Amino acid sequence: MNNDDTLVPLEPESDNPPMVGSPSVELLSERSSSSTGATSTVDVQRSSVTSSTTAALSSTAALSPTATLSPTAASLFASTLLSLSVVLALLGALRLLLPITLEQSRYSWYRGQLRAEYEASGEQLKQVSIEGLSTVSQIVSRRVLPSVVHITTSDQFQGLGFQGKKMTTGHGSGVIVDSTGLILTNSHVLEEGQIINVYLADERSCVAELLGSDPLTDLAVLKINAEELLPISWGDSDFAEVGSPVWAVGSPFGLTGSITFGIVSSKHRLDLTGTQYDSANPLNNRGKSRKPGPVARYSDLMQTDVAVNPGNSGGPLVNGKGELIGINTAIVGESYRGVSFAIPSKLAKQVFDEIVQSGRMRRGWLGVEFVSANRWNMLAQGEFELEIGNQETMTERKGAVINRVLPESPAAEAGLKVGDRVIALNGSIVKGVDDTIFQIGSSLPGSSIEIELERSGEIQTIKVKIGQRPE
């Protein structure tokens, strides 16, 4: 047998050799082909195993520490490092900006809530009857509170250990009267510090600029740079009758957002005896020096029984519609005793407009000195003091008598004389000296006023052009 021949299993011998084309010959041929195919498959498998082994060895060599990175692996490493840096930078920016964003969102939500309550309460107040006092009080508070601010004053303290720190020296209240940032308050609230800080109802704080003040009426106007402010609505104090319900809003003793309720007890109070502005009252002074305040002659006050305490000064007095009808300014004694005073909105609006327009209050002036009619009679008779008994039984004469006329003053040019008793101004009967001075001071400089007076037993009417009160 040749080496090229394929070995096949031996078949049993037969007496008759197989014939070509017989079934035995065909079976032999098929087995020979099958054996050849199997041999080829084994060869292919051996070749595949060899290739796989070679690839595995190559991969092992590539992962070896001593192997050199391919260009594809280096690019992948650089891309991963860059992505990681970007993620870290984004996380750092998120950590920095997230608190600010959340704070702004909270403020925006709170301001939106205040605005919604402010606008809704304005419509509700037009429909609610005054009989529902509890409901009215709740709606009034929602309407007014967003317009009320807390004010503190401070100075730069330069003492050892406190250098550069602000020391609070005073506090009070104020009310936003214009959406541009104009705030009305008492001038005495601002006397104890040069730095004025304003705290809004939505928890924002601002440093305020003083536009002007009028100590004679104890009013001042501030300006802050803030947006989305909710101003109070102006009301007319002349329509507030004795017995009308009123609310006072402010920060008594620093307790911000406090509201109290009461009624108008009286109007046109010109005597501040017993208040913190009465420096001549020994009971009220108690041996302590008191800061100056408005004098009675320029203060036509409303008296209420609303609870007002230190810190309420400068806050609004409002009516049942949530309208500003007064600025709370004074109390009798050191703390609330059932009597408090407010500057009427009619006067406050006049002072506010003048300060905004010119930076100060221009006040009317005649250039005369007034005394009461009884005091004039006493001086004319040479009596410089009256017995208490006589003073109590004496009938008070109405009006104010001119005791002195300044040269080249508007009164001198109009021909007013010493001894003239002023009875009425522009047809309105005057009650006394304080009322006369108040009405003249409330007149605008340059305007004219008709004075009805008594001279030597005869009634005369003289028209006088009002001058401007000297500084």
In the chain, which residues have pLDDT < 50?
1-42, 44-67, 158-162, 281-296, 383-395
- Domain-by-domain residue ranges, the chain? 140-358, 364-468
pLDDT in tens, 114-160: 888 888 888 888 877 666 788 889 999 999 999 999 999 988 654 44
Q: What is the pLDDT of residue 352?
A: 94
Q: What is the pLDDT of residue 219?
A: 93
Q: What is the pLDDT of residue 294?
A: 45
Q: What is the pLDDT of residue 381?
A: 63
Q: What is the pLDDT of residue 235?
A: 95
CATH level 3 topology of 364-468: Pdz3 Domain (2.30.42)
Phi-psi region of 287 (alpha: psi -120 to 50; beta: other; left: phi over 0): left
Q: What is the pLDDT of residue 276?
A: 55
Q: What is the pLDDT of residue 382?
A: 55
Q: What is the pLDDT of residue 59?
A: 43
Q: What is the pLDDT of residue 139?
A: 92
Q: What is the pLDDT of residue 111?
A: 83
Handedness of CA 186, 190, 196, 202 (dihedral sign): negative
Q: What is the pLDDT of residue 6?
A: 41
Q: What is the pLDDT of residue 396?
A: 55
Residues designated catalytic: 188, 218, 313
φ/ψ of 336, rounded to 5, equals: -60, 130
CATH placement of domain 140-358: 2.40.10.120
Q: What is the pLDDT of residue 242?
A: 92
Q: What is the pLDDT of residue 395?
A: 45
pLDDT in tens, 1-53: 444 444 444 444 444 444 444 444 443 344 444 444 444 443 544 444 444 44
